[in-house]
Chains A and B, each alone.
Chain A
Amino acid sequence: MAESRARAFPRYLRAAFALLASDTPEHFAALRDTLGALAIVITLGDEHPLRVCMADGAASVTEAAQGEVALQLGEPAFDALLHGELTVEEAIVGDRLAVKGKLDEVLIFLDALHIWLHGALRCPALHDLYARYLTDTR
């Protein structure tokens, strides 16, 4: 039986950061500079919180609950975001994504997300990883 998307998310996220760094270093550098010391905590469904930050110039994805911006969403909302059926704005308005943090830090997170997406759209290997993620998980 295929692994759930939420369960597989940390592994794919680490792989995606590695591809972003190797294939679109311009976007990775912008992402690193934008996030700075900010840590984002993502809780997907019933999975453990995931702490995402930049450490020593590289991306760090670990199980931890400490961070400046906290995101919490269920697996259906995550799926809808991945398929482009829902935007971050719509998810927040529809109470499908909870975002907690100081406003200026939340805005930094949104800037970083946009940089990530621009990199992802320019990186065929990341597109392949995204396709595999959707195909190999449920």
Chain B
Amino acid sequence: MIASAVAKLDAWRQPVAGAASADGAYKEWMHFCVRLPGAQHGYLLVNLNVSESKVGGLGGRVLRTPRLLALARLERWAGSVETFAEQDAVCAPGRLDVKLGRNALRWRDGAFHLSLAPAAGPAGAGGDVAAAIALRPLVMPTVTSTVSLGPGGVIHWVVIPRLEASGWVQVGGRRVTLDRALAYHDHNWGTFRWGGDLSWEWGFVHPDDARVPWSVVFVRISDGGRHRILSTGALVWRGEQLARMFQNREVALTLTGVHRAAAPPLTIPKLARLLVPGAATGVPASVHLDAGDAAGGGDTLSIDFRTDSKARVALPSDVDPFKLVLLNESCGRATVSGRVQSQRFDFDGAAMMEFVRG
């Protein structure tokens, strides 16, 4: 049931022939976060994406740029971004398989099989992170959620908050074996411009005790200045099923303080660090989420996330040729409590949040 739902809901959307957007604003990615055992707040983050951009002015064409982003945190962060030629990306609409150069995501026998192969040179993503992991979804995916970002802008997503990951990850010289480690997956697609009037925060929590049946994911999408909230959501699964979705006015997200680190965070691509020296990132020290039933029912959700460390992904702005957008990937701990469908829950766990600023 879960496998057939994933196969139907999570397939690649971008058309195989021609551009998905006339103005080169289409983006699509498959995103995975895998809990790494043996390290406090350890996570592997892998993002396989294809972005369109308009090149050559008015009479120009839409160019597809495939990229692989691989970040891992053991004792410290490592990772890089690798860009591929258009013809080195194989991803067909209606299928879940994505191939970027030597790296592949394959959907077989009810599981994603992710392989990251080291590049020959130091600039490749695999130069820092290599992996072979089977990721089996343990809960039902959401149906597609859609958020309008204003004229011409829209983002769609499907999320699976809990998968079990088995295989291995190699970070630098250290190899980590995964035996049913918890993982997270989402799939996003839509038309928007990095550096446009847009920012977001999203996150998820994996319970320390895998027997805890609850899974949570939360997101807030705002304008670039974070003055106007476009969409807020907090989703709660119990076992395999999505049990409750708190939306918009039912959810309040509060960001507190500034996370300060002893050293500047890892920034990828590594050359981008020359453009964003220092440690300022806009990442808060903590985030509190409160959700309650707008209809006056008894469902509640409270999440307290505390940032432990972060790495930055620098993306070129699509709007300003001399600006960057920073995706701050943050690991931490979270305490989750609440009540859904008359069932109480209260657990601690490892968590990740992403703060998009630019």
Contact = CB atoms under 8 A, between A and B. Distances in A.
Interface residues of B, number: 25
A92 to B, nearest CB: 11
Contact of A124 (B85, B264, B270, B322): B85
A34 to B, nearest CB: 11
A122 B316 contact: yes
Interface of A: 24, 26-27, 30, 81-85, 87-90, 113-115, 117-118, 120-122, 124, 127, 130-132, 134-135
B123 interface: yes
A29 to B, nearest CB: 11
Nearest to A88: B274
A16 B110 CA distance: 46
> DSSP majority for the A interface?
helix
Contact of B267 (A26, A27, A82, A84): A84
Nearest to A131: B123
Given A122-B321, A130-B123, A131-B123, A83 B270 contact: yes
Given A113-B274, A117-B272, A117-B275, A134 B121 contact: yes
Contacts of B270: 83-85
A84 B269 contact: yes
Q: Count chain B CB atoms within 10 A of each CB in A90, A117, A134 and give the residue with the most.
A: A117
Contact of B123 (A24, A87, A120, A134): A134
Contact of A121 (B85, B119, B314): B314
Contacts of B120: 135
A86 B119 CA distance: 23
Contact of B272 (A85, A121, A132): A121
Contacts of B248: none
Contacts of B137: none
B122 interface: yes
Contacts of B321: 24, 26-27, 118, 122
A89 B269 CA distance: 18
B83 interface: yes
Nearest to A115: B322
B250 to A, nearest CB: 40
Given A84-B269, A117-B275, 8 more contacts: A26-B321, A84-B274, A117-B271, A118-B323, A118-B324, A121-B269, A121-B275, A121-B324
Contact of A114 (B65, B264, B316, B322): B322
A71 B147 CA distance: 49
B277 A124 contact: no
A7 B329 CA distance: 38
B274 A117 contact: yes
B201 to A, nearest CB: 24
Interface string B66-109: 00000000000000000101000000000000000000000000
